[in-house]
Homo-oligomer: A and B are copies of this chain.
Amino acid sequence: MSQRVREILSWYGSDNPGMLTNLARILNHGRLAGTGRVVILPVDQGFEHGPARSFAINPAAYDPHYHFQLAIESGCNAYAAPLGFLEAGAREFAGAIPLILKVNDHDTLQDEKDPTQALTGSVLDALRLGCAGIGFTIYPGSMQRLKMYQQMRAYAEEAKRHGLVVIIWSYPRGSSISKAGETAIDVCGYAAHLAAQLGAHIIKVKVPTSHVEKEAAREVYEKEKIPVATLPDRIRHIVQCCFDGRRVVIFSGGATDSDAEVLEEVRGIHAGGGFGSIIGRNSFQRAKAQALELLATIMSIYAGNGAP
């Protein structure tokens, strides 16, 4: 067990050894094992955007086994997916990689102004499938957010009692936030902090822009001269918003970008002290060989080995 992993575990003093064991399983798996950095493969796009928009570009990805294999071969720390995708491979790949059950999900067949998600999995599902943790999405900014926080709380209490890691996807969204605001630095920082206050062990937010959405926040960002110009600045700020670095926070990109764009972003996250990335579309929407190459480069950046 590396010194860094021990240090990270030490932040979770209110959790039982069961949760620490599962967190260690994630931190000690794959190419980044022991570094304290984390790259997770999430595949909830099929639920979120439908199968064709998610997988037609790389039809092998229609097969649930593909994603287990991609996560394992690339050396990701964990693979996260909804119930159906995990059920379709959990026996075949048992023990091969830490799993995270996404316990709520959302589709886009309706386009609500104030979205929420459906509860689609349970803590007992996570245990029977051998998962190391559960993933839960909240939408700060939605009129439905308070109800989502309450659902999260109940799941988190049960998960923690059973020794599971709780990961919150904190995605600002809803009628009070502009499209640009969803990735605004103030909103992302707020969303990350909310997830930490709700008791998340690992927090997932989008890579923030330098836009500041809320008037009340802008005054503070300007007055206190909070540096948000560069990506490392912004990452550093998000880390600060997550209990000054006492909680693991990782970042997701979004729609498919060029390799160069993805790597530039990863370098920024690394430079700013972010703990890692959750890379969905930019991995499974590439041909497997290319995805493996990109993920290898990403992980070598996080491992601090430099990169091409």
Contacts and interface: CB of A to CB of B under 8 A. Distances in A.
A4 interface: no
B197 A52 contact: no
A307 interface: no
B241 A52 contact: yes
A220 B53 CA distance: 6
Interface in A63-108: 63-65, 82-92, 94-96, 99, 105-108
A86 B34 CA distance: 24
Contact of A56 (B82, B90, B220): B220
Contacts of A140: 107, 109
For the complex formed by this chain, how many copies does it contain in all? Answer: 5
B56 A190 contact: no
B107 A174 contact: no
A235 interface: no
Contact of A20 (B130, B141, B226): B130
Given A94-B21, A105-B197, A175-B110, A84 B9 contact: no
Interface in A1-54: 1, 5, 9, 11-25, 27-28, 46-47, 49-53
Given A153-B121, A153-B122, A198-B84, A128 B16 contact: yes
Contact of A187 (B57, B109, B150): B109
Contacts of A143: 110, 112
Nearest to A241: B51
Given A14-B87, A244-B62, A1 B95 contact: yes
Given A63-B243, A91-B20, A220-B56, A198 B13 contact: no
Given A117-B146, A199-B83, A216 B49 contact: yes
Interface of A: 1, 5, 9, 11-25, 27-28, 46-47, 49-53, 56-57, 59, 62-65, 82-92, 94-96, 99, 105-112, 116-122, 124-125, 127-131, 140-143, 145-147, 149-150, 153, 157, 161-163, 172, 174-177, 186-187, 189-194, 196-200, 214, 216-217, 220-221, 224, 226, 237, 240-241, 243-244, 246-247
